[in-house]
Structure 1
Amino acid sequence: MDQPTVGILHPGSMGAAVAACAAPNAAAVLWCEAGRSAASASRAAEFGLTPVAALPELLDRSDIVISLCPPAVAEDLAAEVASWGFGGWYVEANAVSPERVLRIEDLLSPGAKAVIDGSVVGSPPVGDKSPTLYLSGLPTGTARIEALFAGTAVQTTTLGPGIGKASALKLSYASFQKTSRVLVALAIGMAREYGVDQELIEVASRRTDSYLSEPQYVAKTAARAWRWGPELEEAADALAAAGLPPEMLRAAAATLARWHDAKDDSELTLTDALDRLAHP
């Protein structure tokens, strides 16, 4: 099998690292400079990605396009790709609902070889981190993506031919993991208001398997809220589509919205995060 040219949409912290892992098995890994920030350009350069000036050039040169972007814009981005008549393999690897993946498949199916449903579970593949890329869809397509990441820090697992399986797994996991972190922030925030936050943390520390014993993660949750909130909205949509109550996840997303202005703030402290939560 010839080495494919790969395009990444867009090189965020996860996208750039995942795309870089594909490089040993690809002829080139491209990213589009148009409309991207200086931080994106710096990140892409750090991971050795090849810049192109505009999206049509990336699509024309790429055999495989991987979409890793904020879930709120995933469908609009797919529509833009479809409008340029992309004819290769499209990996929809965002944290979006199975229903949204099916709409994206409908958008791209007239021209693309196939849409592959994907989801990344784990941290970006840097250092000793090794996330898993779950795949579902046309077997010939999932096999190409497995080959693209063979022998790299990105593990691949194929769940079967059905579009939506990979996205459902991601959102099922995220609905627990991320909502649990929101509940930790609320619990510590309430305890602080009544002057018993240290006592709460001490009680929680007796059970190291509880997220409540990791109060320092509240600040990280706040810094990631701009991404996690839309992801939980997608998970709520998936719950509703399955006939399950979505209200808990929508409430968690609304709580995360209080931290929207803390986007990627690595200097945020626990005190800062709780202050913003109580007084947005």
Structure 2
Amino acid sequence: MAQPTVGILHPGSMGAAVAACAATNAAAVMWCAEGRSPASAARAAQFGLTAAATLPELLDRSDIVISLCPPAAAEDLARDVAGHGFDGVYVEANAISPERALRIAALFEPDTTVVDGGVVGSPPVGAKTPTLYLSGPADATARIEALFADTAVQTSVLGAEVGKASALKLSYASFQKTSRVLVALAVGMAREHGVDQELLEVASRRTDSYLSEPEYIAKTAARAWRWGPELEEAADALAAAGLPPEMLRAAAATLARWNDAKGVGELTLTDALDRLAQP
């Protein structure tokens, strides 16, 4: 099979680096210069991408289009692409909900094949190797796997159902991103009281990720009746320090869904998750 021409929308820090990897197995990788910033142009030049003057030109010349843009713009961008009658493979690789991924796929029916994608990891530069998770029609996901074969972008196919890749991306992001914000709040509160170095020393004794310990969810549910009020106290302390308390108040509200688990006995992980989903 001839090497495809690939269009990247748009060459941000992730998009440009992913596009450069795709160039290994593509005839050309194009980007749309129309309306883009000098910074985008500089990244495109750095990674050797070929400029198309307009979006229609890029779409006319591309067999595969990969959308990697800010999540808020994903649907409008897809609508623009669909409106131009693109009939190749459209890889929706943005950090969006499964529901939005399905809406985007519906925009392209029946002529365009949509592959749901989600990148987990940092841009593929400096020996970093993110994984592009894929879900969608088998022949189309196979083409994307071939596009990134032997590059720094690893691929993993989750099945034929559009939305699975987006679900995995957001499931991981919900922990990874929120945990970073929680670190900022914890250190900020400790600094306000002059114990930030002590906090970091306590934290250094444990380096495992809580995400790798799902069995602890049941223990969390069983303790929610007292953890929730504790987080409310912590939220008050954040507010007193001039720091935003809303995240901890939201966590306390989440724990409140497990209040009736007190004294239940040995909860299983399934029990705990069922209670969380159906308060």
Same fold per TM (> 0.5)? yes
Please report how far the alpha carbon of residue 57 of structure 1 lies from its aligned counterpart in structure 2 after TM superposition: 0.4
**Aligned-pair distance for 1:205?**
1.9
Residue matched to 1:146: 145
Amino acid at match of 2:130: P
Residue equivalent to 2:208:
209
Aligned counterpart, 1:159: 158
Q: CA RMSD in A?
A: 1.9
SS class of match (1:30): strand
Per the TM alignment, residue 248 of structure 1 is displaced from its structure 2 partner at its CA by: 6.1
Shift of 1:210: 6.1
User: How many residues get paired?
Assistant: 216
CA distance in 1, matches of 2:86, 2:248: 35
Give the CA deviation at 1:30.
0.1
Structure 1 residue aligned with 2:182: 183
1:131 aligns with 2:156: no
For the 8 Å contact 1:204–1:210, the answer to whether it is kept is no
Gaps of 5+ in 1: 212-246, 253-280
Q: In the alignment, is the contact (CA less than 8 A) between 1:175 and 1:249 conserved in 2?
A: no
Partner of residue 61, structure 2: 61
Cα displacement (A) at 1:110: 3.7
Deviation of 1:201 after TM superposition, in Å, equals 1.4
Superposed CA deviations along residues 22-50 of structure 1, whole A, max 9, x for unmatched, are: 11211100000111111111011100100
Equivalent residue letter for 1:3: Q
2:225 corresponding residue in structure 1 = none
1:10 corresponds to: 10
TM-score, structure 1 normalization: 0.74
Q: For residue 200 of structure 1, give the secondary structure of its aligned residue in structure 2.
A: helix
CA deviation after TM superposition for structure 1 residue 116, in Å: 0.2
| CA distance in structure 1 between the aligned counterparts of 2:114 and 2:249, rounded to whole angstroms | 28
Once residues 115 and 157 of structure 1 are traced to their aligned partners in structure 2, the CA distance between those partners, rounded to angstroms, is: 16
Q: Deviations over 1:207-237 (max 9, x none)?
A: 23369xxxxxxxxxxxxxxxxxxxxxxxxxx
Amino acid at match of 1:128: A
CA distance change for structure 1 residues 249 and 93 in 2, over 3 Å: closer, same or farther? farther
Question: How far does the alpha carbon of each residue in 1:154-199 deviate from its partner, in whole angstroms, 9 at most, with x for none?
Answer: 1111011011110111111111111111110111111111221122
- Check the 8 A contact 1:5/1:27 in 2, yes or no: yes
1-structure distance, mates of 2:38, 2:192 = 40
Distance of 2:57 and 2:139 partners within structure 1: 25
Q: Which runs of 5+ in 2 are unaligned?
A: 211-245, 252-279
Instruction: Find the counterpart in structure 1 of residue 228 from structure 2.
Output: none
In structure 2, what residue type is equivalent to 1:7?
Answer: G
Cα distance in 2, alignment partners of residues 188 and 38 from structure 1: 37
Q: Percent identity?
A: 80
| Paired residue secondary structure (2:78) | helix
Q: Distance in 2 between matches of 1:166 and 1:199?
A: 40
Q: Distance between the aligned counterparts of 1:156 and 1:119, measured in 2?
A: 10
Query: Which amino acid in structure 1 is aligned with residue 195 of structure 2?
Result: V
- Contact preservation (8 Å) 1:179, 1:249: no
Bigger radius of gyration among the two: 2
2:49 — aligned with what?
49
One-letter amino acid of the counterpart of residue 172, structure 2: Y
